[in-house]
Amino acid sequence: MNDRIDRRAISIGSSEELEKENMLFWAKTSAQEKFRTITFLRECFYGHEATTGRLQRVYTVFKRA
């Protein structure tokens, strides 16, 4: 069993470089894959019911001055 870290797989960069790579990744991703990712994250944060149920309607009434 080899528990050593493969240091060739690690890359170090600035936050600006990582943000740019992230933006390029999502720019190339299809709309279907983006939707799947959003659905997965909603399930992780809010549970399975968040993706199978309907969205709650909320009405807010403001009085004009």
Q: Which residue has the tokens 């990582």?
A: 18
Nearest to 51 by CA among 36, 34, 39, 35: 39
Q: What is the C-alpha to C-alpha distance for residues 46 and 52, in angstroms, rounded to an integer?
A: 11
Residue 5 has pLDDT above 90, yes or no: no
| 19's tokens | 């943000």
23: tokens are 């933006």
What is the DSSP annotation of 30-64? -HHHHHHHHHHHHHHHH-THHHHSPPPP-------
More confident residue, 4 or 21: 21
Quick one: pLDDT band at residue 63, thresholds 50, 70, 90? confident
- Tell me the domain boundaries of the chain: 12-65
Q: What is the pLDDT of residues 8-46, one digit of tens each?
A: 777 777 889 889 999 999 999 999 999 999 989 888 888
Residue 27: per-residue pLDDT:
95
